[in-house]
Amino acid sequence: MFTIFLFVSAAASAQDALPYRDPKLPVEQRVADLLSRMTLEEKVAQMEGAWENRQFFSDSKTLFVDQDGNFIPENAAVLLKNGLGEISRPSEKRGPRQMAIYTNTVQKWVKENTRLGIPVLFHDECLHGHVAPGGTSYPQAIALSSTWDAALVQRVFAATAAEVRARGAQHCLAPVLDLARDPRWGRTEETYGEDPYLVSRIGLAAILGLQGTGAIDRSHVMATAKHFAAHGQPEGGTNVAPGNYSERVIREYFLKPFETAVKDGHVQTVMASYNEIDGIPSHSNKHLLDDILRHEWGFDGVIVSDYFGITDLVTLHHVVATNAEAGKMAVEAGVEIELPPDFAEVVAGEDVRVTRRELDERRGHVRNGGDRDDARKSYQESLAGGRQERHGHAGTVYKVHGSRVQEPRGGKGIARSARDDQCDSNHSASADARSRAVATTRAAPGPRPGASPDQSDSGTAARVSRSAHACPQTARMAQRVQDAAPWLARSGRDLWRSAS
């Protein structure tokens, strides 16, 4: 027995001596050491969230809590064997003591029973105080902003952060930095109003309250700037509807509060929005998440999805056919962790692969300030010179000079053919056509005079199909649009009749 004790103690001491566990070492060195030890499955697990909510997930085999919310180690041994990135809303049906017991129990198990012992993060909703049983509730966001008192708002969220951290969570999904510019939108009360300056100042105060003014300590949490971007003025006032505005308008109004959050507040996480801009969903918008947020502004935190936002690429936006494609698209656009449910299986699937380097960059993008400054300077110089980068097939990057596309010298990547150019053109046409088809259905649900019910909105899809022979990807997308057209027409008419 004494020999076994010595063996276990020696193994634990050796584990503790690993560089990534040494708090005295620089963060970059610890991250590099940890990444070098992680398997692909462990890296993907750190990009996944879990929501132990039986209202949405009824299969007990997929949960590691019982009906009463108690932790089940036997289930965790299967579900959490590779670790986990975040756990959603641990406060659900738990008061302060119950939540603290739950978070401590899960954290202890993860650190002691997974190979690398990487702690898990817990996040909760903190829109106007900790949204939890027994939590302190302050006036709604729109009321807080109406005070025009940034110092007061900062104190409110500092108190919220201390309360959340005491119960075991380290991450708050707040503040909302959307500009409320359509009173029909049902989430106006979550915002700080319609003015970019007011929203920027009150939002900054909330972030400084949640995170503190220095390194995040044991009485503060990570804040989340959401929803990125152009989310508060959806078409028709309908939640998650498109925000189709010019880039100038988006930059001058909708992005201002987020830019302040990144540059002045050093916000630690940013959440992508449910909506789409110019037919591109935010969860797959590389220009928004990578070019602007990371390279132009120098954001060095974590980009998280909104709940089920990656799955929405399939079910709501219809830009891809499978969850596997959605996961790959989101990772390549810049999303680094999915708040529940199915992201890990998506990325690690056999049919769609994401490179290890891509995962390393997403999970270990801790870079020094010089790297960020160089990247931002390079990007800004390219904009000033009228140049942009465009990512082509197989990861090849092409420089865009006006209307001419030039392949980088050195022959890296695949050769770009006329067929590739036609594919890109058809992809754009297909996206535009889908947007027009949906818009047409919303505006005129009934069939056109002389058209049969199944022909009323299929003209756009037919036009896309005629050009689809030039590109297999476009052919598949065109077929999906054409298949959906009769359904869109019928659904539009049914909505029209019910509204009448």
pLDDT digits (tens, 9 = 90+) for 289-320: 999 999 999 999 999 999 999 999 999 999 99
Give the CA dihedral 187, 193, 197, 200, nearest 10 degrees.
-40
Residue 398 confidence (pLDDT) above 70:
no
Chain segment 72-109, per-residue pLDDT in tens? 999 999 999 999 999 999 999 999 999 999 999 999 99
Q: What is the pLDDT of residue 216?
A: 94
Where is pLDDT greater, at 160 or 58?
A: 160
Edge-to-edge strand ranges of the sheet holding 171-172:
49-50, 86-88, 121-124, 171-172
Residue 206 confidence (pLDDT) above 80:
yes
Percentages (nearest 5) of helix, strand, coil residues in the chain = 50, 10, 40
Q: Return all residues near 469 (Cβ < 8 A) that are at least 6 apart.
A: 475
Residue 52 confidence (pLDDT) above 60:
yes
Residue 10 confidence (pLDDT) above 80:
no
Q: What is the mean pLDDT of residues 260-280?
A: 97
Q: What is the pLDDT of residue 55?
A: 80
Mean model confidence pLDDT for the chain: 77
Residue 306 annotated as catalytic: yes
Cα of 33 vs its chain's centroid, Å? 26
Report d(CA 287, CA 254) in Å as an integer: 15
The pLDDT > 70 percentage for the chain reads 65
Q: Of the given ranges (78-92, 195-209, 476-490), which has the lowest mean pLDDT? A: 476-490
Decide if 22 contacts 32 (C-beta within 8 A): no
DSSP 191-259: SS-S-HHHHHHHHHHHHHHHH-SSS--TT--B-EEEEETT-SS-GGG-TT------HHHIIIIITHHHH
The CATH class that applies to domain 27-377 reads: alpha beta
Report d(CA 454, CA 456) in Å as an integer: 6
Chain segment 218-239, per-residue pLDDT in tens? 999 999 999 999 999 999 999 9
Q: What is the pLDDT of residue 361?
A: 62
Residue 427 confidence (pLDDT) above 50:
no
| pTM score of the predicted model | 0.71
Chain segment 123-161, per-residue pLDDT in tens? 999 999 999 999 999 999 999 999 999 999 999 999 999
Decide if 314 contacts 326 (C-beta within 8 A): yes
Q: What is the pLDDT of residue 359?
A: 59
Structure tokens at 38: 């992680």
Q: What is the pLDDT of residue 355?
A: 52
Q: What is the pLDDT of residue 119?
A: 96
Where is pLDDT greater, at 165 or 445?
A: 165
- All CATH 3.20.20.300 domain ranges in the chain, comma separated: 27-377
Q: What confidence tier does 14 reach under pLDDT thresholds 50, 70, 90?
A: low
Q: What confidence tier does 322 reach under pLDDT thresholds 50, 70, 90?
A: very high
Cα of 370 vs its chain's centroid, Å? 26
Where is pLDDT greater, at 479 or 403?
A: 479
Q: What is the pLDDT of residue 354?
A: 57
Crossing angle of helices 256-263 and 196-211, in 10° steps, is: 30
Catalytic site residue from 124, 290, 306, 312? 306
Residue 458 confidence (pLDDT) above 90:
no
